[in-house]
Amino acid sequence: MSLWEYANPVKFLGLSARVQPFLWAAATICVVVGLIWGFFATPDDYRQGSTVKIIYLHVPAALMAINAWFMMLVASLIWLIRRHHVSALAAKAAAPVGITMTLIALVTGAIWGQPMWGTWWAWDPRLTSFLILFLFYLGYIALWEAVEDPDTAADLTSVLCLVGSVFAVLSRYAVKFWNQGLHQGTSVPMATGGRTVSDVFFYPLAISMVGFGLLFLALVLYRTGTEIRLRRARALLARRKREM
């Protein structure tokens, strides 16, 4: 029994159909609990007031925006090395979810930045990096749309994803070099060792982050299933056209 068995579309669809109800339920519970707890049951920050609560949307979305690209990178590598179609389709399915997460992070950040920093947008390294990430997503999705042959499209977008990852990391450091930022440091304890937000804010945030992760997983499984069925329907149509 190996992981690669699920490269078979039928097995993949079977497993994802069995797992999905639980995933959706868990994701809904986590997101709803995290957001309601965060929005209504936490105290206002003494300097930021109630605007701080947008963090429960902003941070999980930003986290998943980056992880979605990372997942696409892994899926692209699997496609290039082992040529499993499910993997290429999963990368394709993840891109729109990732770009939505990026957009949510950018928009919530702007809404929060207006009262706090006094500006909707600043050319801060983190903000700029996210905008660049958004452009990478846009290019990736546009390339999928533009190439007609599905296998060639999978190949080209996979290489773009690899090259894009290298350049996205490069851009991140270039942008840091270019401008010192307004944006506060990370609020996730794993990244810093010490915790920078107090427990009252942290627990709902953690639940919300887990919820967004599960939501991402559920959406990707669902969309991958759709892509597989779409591919199958196209193949059936093409076969019928040949027989006629």
Partner 1 sequence: MIALLHRDLMLAFRAGGGFGLGLAFFLIVTVLVPFSVGPQSELLSTIAPGVLWLGALLACLLSLDRLLALDYEDGTLDLLATAPLPLEAALSIKALSHWLTTGLPLVLAAPILGLMLNLEPDGYIWLIASLAFGTPALSVIGTFGAALTVGIKRGGLLMSLLVLPLYVPTLIFGAEAARQGAMGLDGTTPLILLAGITLGTIALMPFASAAVLRMTLR
Q: Min. distance of Cβ 198 from partner 1 in angstroms?
A: 37
Size of the site for partner 1 (CB under 8 A): 25
The residue range among 4-12, 15-23, 54-62, 169-177 that interacts with partner 1, by the rule CB under 8 A, is: 169-177
Length of the chain counted residue by residue: 244
Binding of partner 1 at residue 81 (CB under 8 A)? no
The residue range among 115-123, 152-160, 219-227, 229-237 that interacts with partner 1, by the rule CB under 8 A, is: 152-160
Among 33, 143, 206, 210, binds partner 1 (CB under 8 A): 143
Binding of partner 1 at residue 180 (CB under 8 A)? no
Binding of partner 1 at residue 170 (CB under 8 A)? yes
119-138 positions binding partner 1, by CB under 8 A: 132, 135-136, 138
- In the bound state with partner 1, the residue whose beta carbon lies nearer, of 22 and 123, is 123
Q: Min. distance of Cβ 159 from partner 1 in angstroms?
A: 5
Which residues contact partner 1 by CB under 8 A? 132, 135-136, 138-139, 142-143, 146-147, 152, 155-156, 159-160, 162-164, 167, 170-171, 173-175, 177-178
